[in-house]
Amino acid sequence: MAVGKNKGLSKGGKKGGKKKVVDPFSRKDWYDVKAPNMFVTRQIGKTLVNRTQGQRIASDYLKGRVFEVSLADLQNDNDSDRSFRKFRLIAEDVQDRNVLCNFHGMDLTTDKYRYDNK
């Protein structure tokens, strides 16, 4: 082969071509997260999940997710008396675009732990 010649480019370029760039958020759906009935505020927030595609069902990926919310947000208070308690809620069921959660645990914020230990 002579110097300066590129045999691969003269025959039609590289194999495969360029990969199409797809925005990952175009494949995702938003679901509303709902707290149990014992709380004043039912709407906690929203969560993302990949769309149902073939054998991969979106609701299966949502079940088992754990959401952490402060008690002040659940009681619709801006009072600092309840903001240090954090509730963990686990997703158990999906109905339409709603993720229904159940109580999974309670914890305190780290600053409250440190304040109480003094």
Average pLDDT over residues 44-48: 95
**Number of domain units in the chain:** 1
Residue 1, domain member (yes or no): no
Q: Is the pTM for the entire model greater than 0.85? A: no
pLDDT confidence of 118, banded at 50, 70, 90? low
Summarised one tens digit per residue, pLDDT across range 8-44 is 666 655 666 788 888 989 999 999 999 999 988 899 9
Parent domain of 73? 21-117
Residues of the chain with pLDDT > 90, as a percent, come to 52
Distance CA 46, CA 66 (A): 13
Residue 3, domain member (yes or no): no
Residue 6, domain member (yes or no): no
| Cβ count within 10 A of residue 36 | 14
pLDDT over 70 at 1, yes or no? no
Output DSSP code: residue 38.
Answer: T
